[in-house]
Amino acid sequence: MPDWIDRPLFEIAQALRKGTLTARNLTEEGIARHDKWDVKLGAYKTWDAEYARRQADASDAAFKANKDLGLAQGILFSVKDIYGAEGFPIYAGSPKRLPPEWEKNGPVLNKVRQQLAVIPGKTHTVEFAFGGLGSNPHWDVPRNPWDAQSHRAPGGSSSGAGVSLWEGSASIAFGTDTGGSVRVPASMTGNVGLKTTKGRWSTDLITILSTSFDTPGILAKSVSDISFGFNAIDPVTKASVSSAIETRDVSGIKLGITKDYFWDRCADDVGETVENAIAELKNAGARTSTIKIPEAGTSVQVWGEGAIVASEGYSFLQTRLPDWIDSLDPNVLSRMEVAKEAKTLDYFSALFKISKLSQSVHAKLETVDALAVPTVPITPPKIEDLVDAEAYKKNNLLALSNTMPGNVLGACAITIPAGLDKSGMPVGLQLIALPNREEELISLALGIERILGTPRDRLGTPPLGGRL
């Protein structure tokens, strides 16, 4: 029988309530996994086993007193180190600890902490979340477990999030997604990742990259676990172990298939892997409909012209954390500094164009259940190939090119593993849906997981190790 930590969260939650499992035992499993794998994988910036045990004991005490505080009770959540999380320092990927005001729990983290979730540590991140590959010159970069020889990008900016799931030290990983920072690391590490609709979950007490596009999100080892995590954080009604989102049968779903933008930059093997997954879904009864979305490419261009993220991110640092600018990763600084010349009229004009493009795309998305496109068009590059600034820039833009439209166009989206590419690296199938359709999207993805299998079923075990 597998360890508890490897089982579906709905099973774990039931066992915790039946008393066949304690939060402390589950946490000890997570700690043992961390002790075994973190040396190799290095998902965490900060890890605190003793604090995790105390949180687990508090959770068990509540269970004993017949207090069921919600689905998250006793479940292990890793937290990207740009979230404030009481009891932990915060670095946001910078070399210096941030002031204590940034250590407070924000509304999203509070949701699960009030349910007595267990937070064992905070995961690595690209400095202030501005980068899609996961690199960081100040701290160790988590290893992508799918390559035992080379150090390949774990994806970013939530660079430790997906890796923490392979360690087995967390069941749900909190990340944030401004241009793909949940979906890219989920795809590159072979996990499921959910990017929520802008504004649905509060970004308070998470350091700001972009007030226009920042969104909290979660990564997990299966769509089923994502459904569990989503229910814990954002229940339609009071969530319980028996109130999961329903699985939608694949037969009858309608996927929007695009050509051009999302495929143009795809490596052949990456594109084929996603095409094969879509073909399997069609065999299982999914219908497809070809849609032209020229707005995707335009939106990414417009976002650049207005220097939206650079302006919002750099002004956040200037006003809130000015002493953190000098030590910025040159790859972060050089892209943020374009803000210095940015004009307000260009900024507002870009935001306006984006709102028009969004309207136009939303009308098209109404005709399907979701767009089905590759999450990341390239195989995760080797960290050593990113030393050159131009190479970094090029790869970073490529890595984010298929996820950015989701942010710009105000969608919600999920990525699920489609298979492995020729390098043996995970490839993600991205499903993009209308704003605030998270429940429907998860329902759809649950049906797709029934056909494609869970990440573990579909991808097997990573060669570098992780979990069991």
Contacts with its own copies by CB under 8 A lie at 307, 311-312, 314-315, 318-320, 339-345, 347-349, 352-353
The secondary structure of 357-369 as a DSSP string is: HHHHHHHHHTTSS
Closest approach of its own copies to the CB of residue 204, in Å: 14
Gap between the Cα atoms of 222 and 228, Å rounded: 10
Residue 215 contacts residue 178 (beta carbons within 8 Å): yes
What are the strands, taking DSSP E only, across 178-244?
Answer: 192-195, 215-220
Q: Which pair of tokens denotes residue 232?
A: 């814990």
Query: Which single residue is written with the structure tokens 């999961």?
Result: 244
DSSP state of 152: B
Nearest to its own copies of 103, 346 (CB atom): 346
Nearest to its own copies of 203, 311 (CB atom): 311
DSSP state of 341: G
Cα-only R_g, the chain: 20
> What is the distance of C-alpha 41 from the center of its chain?
18
Residue 160 contacts residue 115 (beta carbons within 8 Å): no
Nearest to its own copies of 96, 340 (CB atom): 340
Nearest to its own copies of 241, 308 (CB atom): 308
Closest approach of its own copies to the CB of residue 93, in Å: 22
Nearest to its own copies of 356, 422 (CB atom): 356
Q: Which pair of tokens denotes residue 238?
A: 């009071």
- Catalytic-residue membership of 299: no
The beta-carbon contacts of 138-143 under 8 Å, at least 24 apart in sequence, are 138/93, 138/94, 138/95, 138/327, 138/329, 139/45, 139/91, 139/93, 140/42, 141/42, 141/383, 142/41, 142/42, 142/43, 143/40, 143/41, 143/42, 143/464
Nearest to its own copies of 342, 412 (CB atom): 342
- Catalytic-residue membership of 181: yes
Gap between the Cα atoms of 214 and 196, Å rounded: 10
Closest listed residue to residue 174, CA positions, set 133, 141, 205, 139? 205
Nearest to its own copies of 298, 315 (CB atom): 315
Closest approach of its own copies to the CB of residue 109, in Å: 23
Closest approach of its own copies to the CB of residue 180, in Å: 23
- Catalytic-residue membership of 169: no
Gap between the Cα atoms of 301 and 295, Å rounded: 10
Closest approach of its own copies to the CB of residue 404, in Å: 20
Q: Which position among 59, 94, 135, 157 bears the catalytic label? A: 157
Q: Which position among 45, 80, 122, 195 bears the catalytic label? A: 80
Closest approach of its own copies to the CB of residue 344, in Å: 4
Nearest to its own copies of 243, 315 (CB atom): 315
Gap between the Cα atoms of 272 and 258, Å rounded: 14
Phi, psi of 426 (to 5 degrees): -65, 145
Gap between the Cα atoms of 453 and 154, Å rounded: 22
Query: Which single residue is written with the structure tokens 């605030």?
Result: 436
Closest approach of its own copies to the CB of residue 311, in Å: 4
Q: Which position among 181, 187, 222, 401 bears the catalytic label? A: 181
> What is the distance of C-alpha 110 from the center of its chain?
19
Closest approach of its own copies to the CB of residue 305, in Å: 12
By annotation, the residues acting in catalysis are 80, 157, 181
